[in-house]
Amino acid sequence: MGFIKPANNVIFIEQKIEDNFNSLNENDWLKKALNRSIQNLKVNIFCGENIPKRLIPIIYIQKYQIDNLYHYNLPNGWRIVYTIITLENKECLAVIIEYFSHPEYEKRFHY
């Protein structure tokens, strides 16, 4: 049994990623799936699957200085990758780094 902890907030790591999300049509299956995943993260920040540290892409470590990474499966083989940040006031944030198709995910993770 995994941990269950609500996220205080779910944010995007870069404005560009948030802008891409916001530009999706509300009726688009991907927008609906992303909204559902954001709601699920708010209920339980650990609802995704933890990616072992040795498999975290070096680009994420260099660019964002992260030390944890999770993936959340979406329909049609899409995935969200996110990290969890704990602020000084003990608030936990789920920070979405990317969302992409399975082939893009495999390319990023060199599978």
- List, in order of start, the domains of the chain with CATH numbers: 9-108 (3.30.2310)
Residue 2 has pLDDT above 80, yes or no: no
The model's pTM is 0.94
- pLDDT confidence band for 110 (50 / 70 / 90): confident
Residue 51 has pLDDT above 90, yes or no: yes
- pLDDT confidence band for 3 (50 / 70 / 90): confident
Cα dihedral 85, 31, 74, 19 in deg (nearest 10):
-40
76 vs 17, 62, 102, CA distance in Å? Answer: 20, 30, 8
- Tokens 């990317």: give the residue: 98
Average pLDDT over residues 32-46: 98
Whose CA is closest to 91, among 5, 2, 14, 22? Answer: 5
CA distance 33 to 25: 12
Instruction: List beta partners, residue 81.
Output: 71, 98
Residue 56 has pLDDT above 80, yes or no: yes
Residue 1 has pLDDT above 60, yes or no: no
